[in-house]
Amino acid sequence: MEKGRKKGRPPISPYVTAYIKARVDAEQIKTPEKRAPIKTLAFNVQRELIDGRVPGEKIPKLSTIEKKVLEFRRDMTENKPWNLDTLRDPVNRIPPQALEKVFKIWLAREKDPGSPPLTVREARWIAQLSGMTEDTELLRRVAERCALREMVGDLSKISQLSWPAITLEIYADLINMPLDTKLEHYEAMVREKHVDDSWPGYVMDNLRAIYDPEFFEIMGMKLGPKEEKDDSTRKPKIAKRKREGGD
């Protein structure tokens, strides 16, 4: 292997990506109960690729295909109006304990002639954040903001929710954190972590021992530098003397 060349498989080619999207499109035409589960569809796609449906292309790992299938399926449904029929698709399932708040916000939207319908994406964010507050109006505003940022990130392929400062902003709003407290936390984050989304070296070293480089690419994680070990604090090893001729 050439020096400096990364291990692992190359990114999915445009041809394979287009094939996966076409298979997802074909499944979406079916009624929800007849659609193949994500894992089944991904397995079938991989077998079809191995059989030569896209000649001359590298075959991605099954986990990589699953990720693409999930991405394409979500893209087709996330911005559509939410309703009970959308819950039939496993991709759009909402925990039962969160449904009450989703229903309340959905009803408020439906009654307001100037408001657009609640989208599947917004309903998912409402469900994910519902345990943080009992204030339905606050929950609606924060969920709308998260959904908008997520949609912009999907369209631009640049994540809008990965920065620690954004996470702090969402958390602070949900718990009504005082402004001076939020600024204090933000300044501490900038001072200590420089608001960097890379992972600490010791975390990456442990993950490197378990996963191959493709894992980091799929998860969008930055490979930080290996942590330098400080040998100054290590206890010196005491050499064992060889026994000569018994005790």
In this predicted structure, what is the pLDDT of residue 5? 42
8-state DSSP, 3: T
Domain ranges of the chain: 11-77, 80-162, 196-226
d(CA 247, CA 241): 11
Tell me the one-letter amino acid at 99. L
In this predicted structure, what is the pLDDT of residue 146? 93
In degrees to the nearest 10, what's the CA dihedral of 149, 152, 153, 157? -170
Q: Which of 197, 127, 126, 138 is nearest to 172 (CA)?
A: 138
DSSP helix/strand/coil, 119? strand
- Would you state the structure tokens that stand for residue 224, as one six-digit string? 């930080």
The neighbour count for residue 221, using CB atoms within 10 Å, is 16
**β-bridge partners, 81:** 119
Tell me the average confidence (pLDDT) per consecutive run of 10 residues in the chain, 247 residues long: 49 84 80 80 89 76 88 76 86 90 95 90 95 95 92 77 89 94 85 53 60 61 52 49 48
Q: 208 vs 112, 218, 221, 224, 227, CA distance in Å?
A: 52, 14, 12, 11, 12
**β-bridge partners, 119:** 81
Tell me the one-letter amino acid at 74. R
- Nearest-5° angle of CA 165, CA 156, CA 163? 10
In this predicted structure, what is the pLDDT of residue 230? 53
Q: 215 vs 6, 59, 71, 131, 134, CA distance in Å?
A: 13, 16, 17, 31, 38
Q: What is the DSSP string of 52-110?
A: TSSTTPPPPPHHHHHHHHHHHHHHHHTTSBP-GGGGGSGGG---GGGHHHHHHHHHHHH
Q: What is the DSSP string of 203-217?
A: HHHHHHTTS-HHHHH
In this predicted structure, what is the pLDDT of residue 158? 80
In this predicted structure, what is the pLDDT of residue 241? 47
In this predicted structure, what is the pLDDT of residue 8? 54
d(CA 140, CA 82): 14
In this predicted structure, what is the pLDDT of residue 4? 45
d(CA 2, CA 62): 27
36: left (phi over 0), alpha (psi -120 to 50) or beta: beta
